[in-house]
Structure 1
């Protein structure tokens, strides 16, 4: 079986990184997009769809419509790896876009199989799009075990530094982390500060009102790893997070983590304690209390040892994806 995997794998975004991991680990002979210009990509889609036994589109893109229509015309089975829900996430982020919604809905209509990046997200999709419930399946994102080789010891970290990823996107709920740090500075650690990385968004102005926030904007993957190495705690407070690679990357660099219960990546960790999880992402008091607890009693070693490295590796995930695609080909 020959796979054609289409989608961005170079920009460094979460979906692009996932696509890159699959390219590295799927069976030898897997085809993937190499061209950058739109005309060249269109030609590439045509040629490689003909050559492949099954086509897979990873991540939201208008090119998915062209490719999936072509696959139907050529009677090639097709799958769509769904990293997030554009329609729902844009509404949370106060950036509704009807054109993007139409593209996403059309993609769901055309694909034979829709693969979510976590079990939690898969179940959510079945409820949000009941008309497509029979198409949804999942392959939980994997772990890049190479990231763990240079984990930094707790004693070498900046004990006043709290780190979060997501910039000004409202769904990341970083403004409530700001409120929590404000409380902690008043009654626990006056030198505590919050380092935020990510693009500007509707919450950026509110976040900027706190003078202890170090807003780094968009940083390179390498810079992100360096910040994981420095931080005392990484906090992910999202109200909706289909997976979220950042907490796992932080753990693998030896950084303690605190995540909201909505973070899909937590399903990789079996021995979660209540103090590891934010139950109410808008409760600054709970967030502050749990940040303090994680600082004083690091969970990094306990949680990272609970990860099943082999079964959660990208090699294992690629085998799972290949198995689902093989079944799809046989059904066709």
Structure 2
């Protein structure tokens, strides 16, 4: 019986270097120099089995590879010996998917400031290989070549991300304008973002805006109070004029004696209303019986007839 020993695994990846996002990647795994031959061979990506077959070799193709598929790939072969024990042989390869630099985050892109203010512009980019960021002024000159203390560039970041910022001190009006951050890798220009710095407008100043709003509010309040006072004065004048023109304050007109026709008209109205004809409603004309009427009204008894005795006078 021949002596048993585990196999060796060979792994071949195409393309070997500079794998770009969107490329097709082929992985070839094969076993050799083992006895007995392995009964299983397969491929693992990030600790998870991608493919596993019975045999001594496999070919696996990743079409249109993505940046998320970067990582460690491992070929494995399993040999089973006569005593049913198993041994595993492996080979690994790190696939790095390259992609162009892209600006992923920026701070505020439009700034309004006064002379003497400090403006900070921030720019972040991602890419493989890790990108670099270069800042340019409005004349398309690089900032670091100007050696200007009023323009300071700082950079940082980790992994595939780079962060950069430009700190601008507005010493005079010549610093107003546009500034651009550009991210690049592969020694090629990539994505960019432009920032604009302009002179601050007076109307945009919070202090001046508050002052204007306060003045407008004060004018409105004074106007409303004036209208209320004017309204009260007008109402008071109208009331005073009504009181002065009231009939109570007019001089009494001389009393005119009632005529017989007016008295008769009053009596007729009273009868229509259901009133009774009273003694003081009768005409005030002279009558031989007027004194009897007054006595009856005032409670005196009427005169009694007098009985005359004696012989009549012939």
**TM-score normalised to the size of structure 2?**
0.22
Larger radius of gyration: 2
**TM-score normalised to the size of structure 1?**
0.21
Q: Report 1 or 2 for greater relative contact order, CA contacts < 8 Å, sequence distance ≥ 6.
A: 1
Whose helix proportion is higher, 1 or 2? 1
